[in-house]
Amino acid sequence: MPHHAPDRPRWLSAEEQSAWRAFLTFVARLDEALDRQLQRDAGMPHAYYQVLAMLSEAPGRTLRMSQLAEITTSSPSRLSHAVARLEEKGWVRRERHPTDRRGALAVLTDDGMAALVAAAPGHVAAVRENLFDRLRPEQLHQMCDLFATLNDGDDPPHEGSGRLSR
Amino acid sequence: MPHHAPDRPRWLSAEEQSAWRAFLTFVARLDEALDRQLQRDAGMPHAYYQVLAMLSEAPGRTLRMSQLAEITTSSPSRLSHAVARLEEKGWVRRERHPTDRRGALAVLTDDGMAALVAAAPGHVAAVRENLFDRLRPEQLHQMCDLFATLNDGDDPPHEGSGRLSR
DNA sequence: CCTTTTTGGTTGAACACTCAACGAAGACAC
DNA sequence: GTGTCTTCGTTGAGTGTTCAACCAAAAAGG
């Protein structure tokens, strides 16, 4: 079998190029819009909102750090720092895991729940305004299909029943 | 006209919810993968790669700070810090604007161009692996359409001819 | 002209994230 | 048991981003 060294790069086609740039632009603008809205109106960045939202849907509003990290797509370190910050605000409390003594649990406090409920409407509105309200109906289906495909192979990201959107 | 206070929030439908979460998950994983690959193999975060890439396509490898900020979708402050960092590395140089004396120009140095060229193949490979190689052909069209629609109304993000992908 | 407003860009402090190192406890070998 | 490996989570330093404050120069208004 012939050996040929570090494959010559397959550059992006014109169409891929334009899709890629449009994607980057959109994501950058969206991230900025969501982060700014939440920071301004609720005093938290989007990443922290997601933590609170996931906790709010969990049984007992409690989740193990490792699971919480998983479903918020954040590194253990990031989550640890985040929870530390949320704890200072009184929105989350840490508890020891009952059986596994390495484990730590994150619990959403009543104050945390209140902050989330207060933040949710504005956040959902921003998500609508920047995303869903701009889509034609069939584009929503395509979008579902698209990201389902793209996430395929990675572990499934939690089937939530909540309405707080992240 | 009847006045009704801060509209009751229109929550996301089940389909929107699932599209939204899939989107967030994908973007988080993608961002992480790209940033890690570039940081490891080229010593720069994705945002800095984009700065170099946009400069490499500009006439004279030179762009005004404000324009560079525009096409990289970054705030003036962010770009200023970024260029400062890139200047330390010797990849970018600042020059004064010839006619407008407030203006500053960012110029890609030869070292910067070399760093970009060295980084490009690995970066493009990562983009392929995490995005385009996972798409069925017609999904690429849908993706183009989708983000074109979503970026509609915001100013057009620059029609580049380069192959370095960002 | 002179004043006011707007635009272009930088700065420093506060905050968020990454990475590597670490300790503590469960799991597994024997 | 004892030792090793692995998993869980935290920590601190380094780096990137945001935000508000700021200066300098151009533009606008009189």
> How far is the C-alpha of A116 from the C-alpha of A123, rounded, in Å?
10
Q: Is the CB of B39 under 7 A from strand C?
A: yes
CA of A75 to C1' of D18 (A): 22
CA of B85 to C1' of C17 (A): 18
Q: Is the CB of A43 under 7 A from strand D?
A: no
Confidence of residue B153 (pLDDT cuts 50, 70, 90): confident
Per-residue pLDDT, A159: 45
**H/E stretch holding A80:** helix A76-88
What pTM value is reported for the model? 0.92
Is the CB of B147 less than 8 angstroms away from the CB of A19?
Answer: yes
Q: Does position B160 have pLDDT exceeding 50, yes or no? A: no
Q: Is the CB of A79 under 7 A from strand D?
A: yes
> Contact, B38 vs B119, CB < 8 A?
yes
Q: Note the strand C nucleotides within 7 A of protein beta carbons.
A: 7-12, 15-21, 23-26
Q: Note the strand D nucleotides within 7 A of protein beta carbons.
A: 7-12, 15-21, 24-27
Whose CA is nearest the C1' atom of nucleotide D17? B78
Residues of B in contact with A15 (CB under 8 A): 140-141, 144
> Contact, B22 vs A148, CB < 8 A?
yes
**What are the pLDDT tens digits along chain A (166 aa)?**
566 556 788 999 999 999 999 999 999 999 999 999 999 999 999 999 999 999 999 999 999 999 999 999 999 999 999 999 999 999 999 999 999 999 999 999 999 999 999 999 999 999 999 999 999 999 999 999 999 999 987 754 444 455 556 6
> Contact, B1 vs A153, CB < 8 A?
no
> How far is the C-alpha of B49 from the C-alpha of B43, rounded, in Å?
10
Is the CB of B12 less than 8 angstroms away from the CB of A150?
Answer: no
Q: Is the CB of A81 under 7 A from strand C?
A: yes
Per-residue pLDDT, A165: 65
The pLDDT tens digits for B25-79 are 999 999 999 999 999 999 999 999 999 999 999 999 999 999 999 999 999 999 9
- Amino acid identity for residue B133 in this structure: D
CA of B26 to C1' of D9 (A): 25
Gyration radius of chain A's alpha carbons:
19
Q: Which residues of A63-84 are buried (b: 16+ CB within 10 A; e: fewer)?
A: bebeebbbbbbbeeeebbebbe
Whose CA is nearest the C1' atom of nucleotide D23? B102
The pLDDT tens digits for A3-46 are 655 678 899 999 999 999 999 999 999 999 999 999 999 999 99
Q: Does position B6 have pLDDT exceeding 90, yes or no? A: no
Per-residue pLDDT, B159: 45
